[in-house]
């Protein structure tokens, strides 16, 4: 909690810092994407609750991170000498993504299921922000996340119906594991499932998702 002190005396009043919201979209479907529609709705509702919030939108389809390769390994871990021009440009992009992630109080992440997993561009973004010594560290007793204190709202979309999370919802398992590894435990899911199983199933999935978005407006859930 930020505190503002006045006139060099012992009295003070509490000042809520502005909320930083990071919206991550990874669907390749553009305006036809259900996950994009829902992430935008979640963010709009958050801004309605917190008018002074700052929103950053990261579109991983329009600005896809290059997939991790041997040539890109040197850009992880922070600025350093000896990089070529391509590596230097990738370092600057990586540092931008990492700063956006670290500065965020709330992440709203669109996670459609592609072939049982997450979109490859979302995985590439994860590979940039999951950095030892910066967002997690290893200790004698195991890894410790360094990015705690954030809230994550995952918009999960898929063509089929949710049955067994460990077997069929690997897109959720992946992002849940990553965020918890980085120290984030406040994770909420908005699910739009059954979208490719016919009109009735799609409508039911959208209705359930919109109800879940509306439930996020609960004052306790949005408390700063």
Annotated binding site for FMN: 27, 33-35, 157-160
Binding residues: 27, 33-35, 157-160
Give the separation between CA 152 and CA 176, rounded to whole angstroms. Answer: 10
- For CA atoms 118, 175, 204, 61, the dihedral sign is negative
Distances 63 to 30, 93, 160, 191 between C-alpha atoms, Å: 13, 10, 28, 25
- Residue located via tokens 């505190």: 3
Burial string for 25-41 (b: 16+ CB within 10 Å, else e) reads bbbbeeeebbbbbbbbb
Q: How far apart are CA 39 and CA 52, in angstroms?
A: 19
CB 136 within 8 A of CB 145: yes
Half-sphere exposure of 18 (CA within 13 A, CB side): 9
Q: CB of 158 within 8 A of CB of 112?
A: yes
């Amino acid at each position: 909690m930020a505190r503002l002190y006045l006139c060099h005396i012992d009295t003070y009043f509490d000042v809520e810092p502005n909320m930083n919201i990071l919206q991550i979209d990874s669907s390749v479907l553009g305006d036809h994407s259900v996950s994009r529609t829902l992430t935008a709705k979640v963010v709009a509702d958050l801004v309605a609750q917190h008018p002074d919030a700052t929103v950053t939108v990261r579109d991983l389809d329009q600005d896809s991170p290059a997939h991790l390769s041997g040539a890109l390994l040197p850009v992880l871990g922070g600025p350093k000498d000896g990089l070529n021009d391509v590596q230097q440009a990738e370092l600057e992009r990586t540092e931008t993504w990492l700063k956006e992630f670290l500065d965020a109080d709330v992440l709203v992440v669109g996670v459609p299921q592609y072939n049982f997993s997450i979109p490859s561009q979302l995985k590439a973004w994860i590979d940039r922000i999951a950095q030892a010594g910066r967002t997690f560290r290893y200790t004698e007793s195991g890894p410790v996340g360094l990015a705690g204190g954030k809230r994550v709202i995952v918009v999960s979309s898929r063509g089929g119906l949710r049955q067994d999370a460990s077997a069929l919802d690997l897109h959720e398992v992946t992002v849940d594991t990553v965020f918890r590894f980085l120290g984030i435990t406040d994770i909420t899911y908005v699910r739009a499932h059954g979208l490719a199983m016919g009109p009735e199933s799609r409508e039911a999935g959208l209705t359930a998702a919109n109800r879940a978005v509306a439930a996020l407006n609960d004052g306790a859930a949005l408390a700063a």
